[in-house]
Amino acid sequence: MLIETMALARTGILLLWLVSVVLSSPVAIGQINGTSSPHYVFAHYMVCYATYGATVGAYKREIQEAQAAGIDGFALNVGAWSGPDTYYKTRVELIYEAAEQLGTGFKLFFSVDLSNTNDIVNMVSSYAPRTNSFRYQGKIVLSTFSESNLDWNGVFHSLKDAGTGVFFVPFFYPNPTTELPKYQDAVNLLNTYSNILDGLFLFGAAGLPYQLAQCNSNYTLAVHSAGKIFMAGVTPHYWGCKQPSIDRRYFEFDGGEGISLQWHTVIASQPDWVEIVTWNDFNESSYISPVEDPGQYFDGVVTPHRYSHKGYFELSKHYIAWFKNGREPVIQNDALYYFYRTHSKNSVASDTNDVPVTWYLGNVQDTFNATVFLIQPAQLTIASGVNRTTNSLPAGISAIRVPFAPGTQTMTLVRNGEQVFSVQGSNILSQIQSYDFFPASGFAYGKPSPPVGFHASGSLQP
C-alpha cells in the first residue's frame, strides 16, 4: 500500500492557538510582572524507582543524562522516611553522594509526599547543609505534592529554630479539587496560604496538552501578579496504567506535538521555573528518562512493557535551551523524533484478567507521529507494516501523523536522492497478551550542517 502525501505543518496552527490564548484570556504577555529569577528547569524524580538501580554509579548516570539535556536538578519525590519503606533514606543519600562526586552543581530539593511533619523536619534539616541542596534567596527550596492540610507553619518554625530557612513552592489542589485548575483557583490558593507560600508549582499531567498549557498560562499571570515565583509543569504523555477504577484513562498527546505545545506556551508566558512531570514515573507514562527498558532494572514495571521515552527526552532539549536562553536554537542538523503505540486501541488482550482501557481523552487514533527538524527540504518515508507514506518536508520543523499498521516500523530520510539516515523502531503487534498504552519513542540525527562558506577542500571563505 503506497501513500503519497504532503505532511501537515502544524507550526502555524500552533502559533495561531497561542495568540488566541494570549489575547482571549487573562494571560497577555505584556501583563505579566517580570521577575529576576533565573529560568531553571527541574525534573520530578520518583525516589521509589531506582531507574538504573540503587547505586552511586547508576545515579551518576541519570544526573549526567539530565544535565546533558539542560535540566538543572531533580525534585526528589519522597513518600516515606522513618516508616517501613526505609529504602527512601538509603536512596536519597546515594543520589546526594552521586551529585557531590560529580561536582557539576546539579541541584536537589525535596518534593514532600508524606504527612508526618516530624519526618519532614528531619529530612529537610539533615540535607540542608549539603552542597547540592538547592537554595534560592538564601533559603532551602521545598516543594510538595498535594499535602495542603499539614501544619506547615509548625514545620517551618521547627526548621527555622534549627537554622534552616525554607523557600516554599508547593503544588496544592484547589478547593474544590480539580486536575485542571483555572486562574481564579491560583488566586484562591495564594490568598488562602499567603502566610506560608513563596510561590506555586502546578503539577500538570492528567490533561490534554492544550488544557495543561492553558493552566500554566493562567497560573503564571496569577502568581506573578502576587509577586511570587511560579514553577510550571510540562509532561510528555499520560496514561493511568494503575487506575483500573477509572478505566485506565488515556490522554492523546499526538507524539511530540503535545510536549511542543506545552513548551511553546511556557516560552510565551514566561514562568520562572519549569518542573518536568516526570523523570521516572513508570506507572503513569509521564516519564522522560531515556532509559531503554525500565523493567530491566525494576521488576515491578515489567508488564505491561515500558518502552523507551528517549524521543521525548531528545526533543525536549530544543525547548529547554530555548526557555533557558531566551532564544530558539538554530537547527544545525537533521533530526527525527518518533512516537507511537505498539498496538491498535481496538486490540483485545488474550489475558482476560487484564483491564482494558475504555476512557479515552482527545482524538485517539492508531497513528504514527513524527516531529522532524530539517536544515534543508527532504523526503521522509515512513514504512509502517504494509503502509508506506512519503512526506515532502520543508526546512524547519514539521509534525506528521500517518496511520500505523502492524509489523516493522522504519523511517528513512532522503535528500536529493541520497539517504540521510534510516532508523527502525519497535514492532507494532497484531496480537497482544496485555494492554500496553505506553508509547514507544526514539530519534535519529543526521550529520551537522557544514559551517557557512565551507568547501570540500576544507577551507573557509572570508
Residues 224-250: tens digit of each pLDDT: 999 999 999 999 999 999 999 999 999
Model pLDDT, residue 10: 45
How far apart CA 102 and CA 121 sit, in angstroms, is: 27
Q: What is the CATH number of the domain that holds 15?
A: 3.20.20.80
- Give the model's confidence band at 448: pLDDT under 50 very low, under 70 low, under 90 confident, else very high: confident
Percent of the chain with pLDDT over 90: 85
Residues 6+ apart with CB under 8 A from 291: 51, 52, 280, 297, 308
Is 82 a domain residue?
A: yes
Residues 117 and 181 in one domain: yes
Is 3 a domain residue?
A: no
Of 290, 325, 360, the position where a domain reaches its end is: 325
Residues 235 and 362 in one domain: no
Residues 256 and 340 in one domain: no
Is 457 a domain residue?
A: no
In this structure, of 133-147, 308-322, 387-401, 440-454, the range with the lowest mean pLDDT score is 440-454
Residues 257 and 206 in one domain: yes
Q: Give the pLDDT mean for 155-159.
A: 96
With H, G, I as helix, E, B as strand and everything else as coil, classify residue 180. coil
Residue 298 CB neighbours (<10 A):
20
How far apart CA 52 and CA 70 sit, in angstroms, is: 20
Q: Measured in Å, how far apart are the chain's first and last C-alpha atoms?
A: 51
Q: What is the CATH number of the domain that holds 439?
A: 2.60.40.10
Model pLDDT, residue 18: 53
Residues 206 and 346 in one domain: no
Model pLDDT, residue 26: 42
pLDDT above 70 for 30: no
Is 79 a domain residue?
A: yes
Burial of residue 417, with CB atoms counted within 10 A of its CB: 0-12 exposed, 13-18 middle, 19 or more buried: exposed
Of 308, 325, 342, the position where a domain reaches its end is: 325
Model pLDDT, residue 6: 37
In this structure, of 9-13, 68-72, 264-268, 417-421, the range with the lowest mean pLDDT score is 9-13
In this structure, of 30-39, 175-184, 216-225, the range with the lowest mean pLDDT score is 30-39
How far apart CA 18 and CA 213 sit, in angstroms, is: 9
Is 454 a domain residue?
A: no
pLDDT above 70 for 357: yes
With H, G, I as helix, E, B as strand and everything else as coil, classify residue 267. helix
Residues 159 and 90 in one domain: yes
Assess contact for 190 and 228: CB atoms under 8 A.
Answer: yes
Nearest to 280 by CA among 39, 114, 63: 63
Residues 369 and 429 in one domain: yes
Is 340 a domain residue?
A: yes
- Give the model's confidence band at 453: pLDDT under 50 very low, under 70 low, under 90 confident, else very high: low
- HSE (CB half, 13 Å, CA atoms) of 182? 5
- Bridge-based pairing state of the strands 73-78 and 166-168: unpaired
Range of the domain at 53: 8-325
Is 1 a domain residue?
A: no
Residues 346 and 247 in one domain: no
- Give the model's confidence band at 299: pLDDT under 50 very low, under 70 low, under 90 confident, else very high: confident
Q: Give the pLDDT mean for 252-258.
A: 98
Residues 113 and 74 in one domain: yes
Residues 6+ apart with CB under 8 A from 300: none
Task: Take residue 309 and report the three cell numbers written for it.
Answer: 521515552
Residues 414 and 321 in one domain: no
Residues 165 and 300 in one domain: yes
pLDDT above 50 for 32: no
- Bridge-based pairing state of the strands 367-374 and 360-361: unpaired
Is 194 a domain residue?
A: yes
Model pLDDT, residue 84: 76
Q: Look-up: residue for cell 525494576?
A: 298
Domain count, the chain: 2
Nearest to 244 by CA among 344, 354, 350: 354
With H, G, I as helix, E, B as strand and everything else as coil, classify residue 26. coil
Residues 312 and 404 in one domain: no
- Bridge-based pairing state of the strands 367-374 and 135-136: unpaired
Model pLDDT, residue 83: 77
Distance of CA 117 to the CA centre of its chain: 29
Residues 88-141: tens digit of each pLDDT: 999 999 999 999 999 999 999 999 999 999 999 999 999 999 999 999 999 999
Of 325, 360, 379, the position where a domain reaches its end is: 325
pLDDT above 90 for 447: no
Distance of CA 365 to the CA centre of its chain: 22
In eight-state DSSP terms, residue 133 is: B
